[in-house]
A and B are shown apart, each in its own frame.
Chain A
Amino acid sequence: MIQKNKIKCVVWDLDNTLWQGTLLEGDTVTLSPNVVEIIQTLDQRGILQSIASKNEYHTAMAKLTEFNLQDYFLYPQINWNSKAHSIETIAKSINIGIDTLAFIDDQPFEREEVNFSLPEVYCIDATDLPNLLNLSELNPHFITEDSKYRRQMYLSDIKRNQLEEEFSGPKESFLASLQMIFTIAPAKENDLQRAEELTVRTNQLNTTGYTYSYEELKSFINSDNYLLLITSLEDKYGTYGKIGLTLIERQPTVWTIKLLLMSCRVMSRGVGTILINHLRNEARHHQVKLCAELIQNDRNRMMYMTYKFAHFQEISNDGHLILFENDLSAIQQFPEFVKVNILP
């Protein structure tokens, strides 16, 4: 069984949690025991980190820089807002579910306030810091190449997003400026850990939410009845990593997309549609029908739309499982602003 609720981001308090002492009271603060090792280990495991601290922003950031820890934290919230508010801001900025966050603080009041407003957040007492790395929630099933570089990829995203906000023309021109390269490849054995990780981590841009174990995924790549594709994206700012997974069941006259998922980080890049168009081309080439399954929930309406806008029509709907069939006669071209690389 794959455990679903792994923590994706650890949010740190500063005073008497990350360091000992109260910064604004003029204390000489010192890092809590082993905290650098803890931060680096979480980072290596692909767990993101941020800060929710009631402090003066510039003073606290200067202190973090002095400790050489400033680059480990995404969207640090150092201000006088409630911690629940700060944690919500972090989840929204990173674009992850609130139930994938953990919060470490020494003060029971702060933990209770967060617990009251956001019961899904996993609150940890700072006195439990020595045992933090042993918590099962903070031990991902696998550590993949993508997990090790996750923070770097998010930092590139922050840079891209800033440029996107500053860009005054239509998004079309911005996308063209990125010089994206989208690669579609059959999954190989060394992709399977990342593939499993994607099925567990991806909720919004996920057509069915089916999760598969490493062993199941391995059986798919060794079977003629299945096609497992893994997609990756890069642009002039660097790689987004392996960002998508698609499982197709191949029968003699019909191919069915059992699962199509994309990381939320590529939501506005149009690559899901490119992938579907690639499959439409393949289906035409092999002279088979192209079908797709979708299990609709309150988070994946975007995928329903992506299918409908890519010429899929509902052929059955039992209120839970929707089956689509594609109108392969409609031609849709790949967009000009992305270079598409299809590996055999």
Chain B
Amino acid sequence: MTADEITEKTKSFLGKFIKVEEIQADEDLFAAGLLNSLFAMQLVLFVEKEFNCKVENDDLDLKNFNSINAIVGLITRKIATA
């Protein structure tokens, strides 16, 4: 899977929660305070199900999830080591 494909999938998932078209790839998704347990959980489940990898406790770090680039980076690393 290419980085572009991962980015597209991630953006389309995030679009259900936030106005993704107004957000830059490196912009902090949670700076506006839009973070809740359900969103966080669904984000992690999205990464696990869509890309068939296991997100460990150590991966559950804000810096792996707080921007589109960060999420794509995490997925890319996870796929590479899977």
| Contact surface of A with B, Cβ cutoff 8 Å | 169-173, 205, 262, 267-274, 301-306, 308-311, 314, 332-336
| Complex Cα gap A305–B30 (Å) | 14
B residues adjacent to A (C-beta < 8 A)? 15-20, 30-41, 44, 57, 60-62, 65
Q: Is the CB of A332 within 8 A of B30?
A: yes
Q: Give the total number of A-B pairs whose CB atoms are below 8 A apart.
A: 80
Chain B residues touching A, majority SS: loop
| Assembly CA distance A305 to B36 (angstroms) | 10
| A173 contacts across to B, CB distance below 8 A | 19
Interfacial chain A residues near B30, Cβ < 8 Å: 309, 332
Partner of B32, one of A271, A301, A336: A336
Whole-angstrom CA separation of A205 from B44 in the bound complex: 16
Chain B nearest CB, measured from A265 CB (Å): 11
Given the interface pairs A308-B61, A308-B62, the reply to whether A273 lies near B33 with Cβ below 8 Å is yes
Given the known inter-chain contacts A170-B18, A171-B16, A172-B18, please indicate yes or no for A303 contacting B33, CB distance below 8 A. Answer: no
Looking at the assembled complex, report how far the CB atom of B35 sits from the nearest CB atom of chain A, in whole angstroms: 5
Docked complex Cα distance between A173 and B41 (Å):
20
Question: Top 5 nearest A-B pairs by Cβ distance?
Answer: A335-B33, A270-B36, A268-B38, A302-B37, A308-B60
- Asked whether, in the complex, the Cβ of B40 is within 8 Å of the Cβ of A305, the reply is yes
Q: Is the CB of B39 within 8 A of A171?
A: yes
Please give the distance in Å from A294's CB to the nearest CB on chain B: 11
